[in-house]
Amino acid sequence: MALTIYEIIRRSCDPLLPPLNRKVRSRALREAKASDRRLSILDVGGRKSPYTIGLPADVTIIDLPRETEVQRDLNLGVNEQIADELKKRRSNIHSVIFGDMTCSDLPSASYDLVIAVEVLEHVLEDAKFVSEVSRVLIPGGKFIMTTPNGDFVENRNPDHKRHYKKAQLAGLLSEYFENVEVEYAIAGGYYRKIGLRSWSLTRPQQTVLSIFGNIVNSIQSAEKGISGRALGTHHLIATAQKAF
């Protein structure tokens, strides 16, 4: 399936984006390439979904409908306009579902891979969420997720229910998955901070600084031993596999 212009442009920007996006994307791409068929991926809360753009897979996005003031302020959730734009821009979008992953009506054993980037910290009933992820995965399917590193990052976000420590997240995932790996990821500091600033044609200086910050932060985040470094890292990244 041919990529859209939007996908080509966004893919060309990959090296300039925050390193967390590329870290998730590389894991998803590895799963897609290892398969002998086109994967079916469920992207939970993946409205922007930079990590699945252009992937050789059929991507279903599920997200809460945008209804509350907090959602609008924090740019969370989806509406019909966002869903329509996603389908027009992306060649691999199978469908966009308005729904709650803690109580979805998605069919069981229907996805090869589930991705949830910076989602679980927003979910009050986290055990139900993880249980549902396991239910909709095929036997042997995988769950790739990230969340703030609770061993280091203080929770100041009004929509975050909690920040997990590494052991806490590993314990939760192990209740529903057979093989679980949790690592620390993404170095903090000045370059990470400026790298998270939005790009804008009307603010070229800010855009250049953001790109430079992401490049430096990528180098910092690739340092040997960072996956075991609790202090100074801002995220946890986990891969969990369902039993066959």
**Alpha carbons 197 and 192: distance in angstroms, whole number:** 9
Sequence-ordered list of residues with C-beta below 8 angstroms from that of 63, at least 6 positions apart, any chain = 44, 45, 46, 47, 77, 78, 96, 97, 98, 99
Q: Which residues pair with 43 in a beta bridge?
A: 61, 115
Q: What is the pLDDT of residue 71?
A: 67
Task: Give the residue extent of every domain in the chain.
Answer: 5-187+225-241
Residue type at 139?
P
What pLDDT shows up at residue 193? 96
Pick the CATH number of 5-187+225-241 from 3.40.50.300, 2.40.50.100, 3.40.50.150, 3.50.50.60: 3.40.50.150
Mean pLDDT per 10-residue segment, the chain (244 residues): 88 92 94 94 84 93 79 72 86 91 94 96 96 98 98 93 98 97 98 94 94 97 96 98 96
CB 213 within 8 A of CB 146: no
Q: 0.85 cut: is pTM over it?
A: yes
> What local confidence, expressed as pLDDT, does residue 45 receive?
84
Give the whole-angstrom CA distance, residue 103 versus residue 185: 30
DSSP, collapsed to helix, strand or coil, labels residue 229 as coil
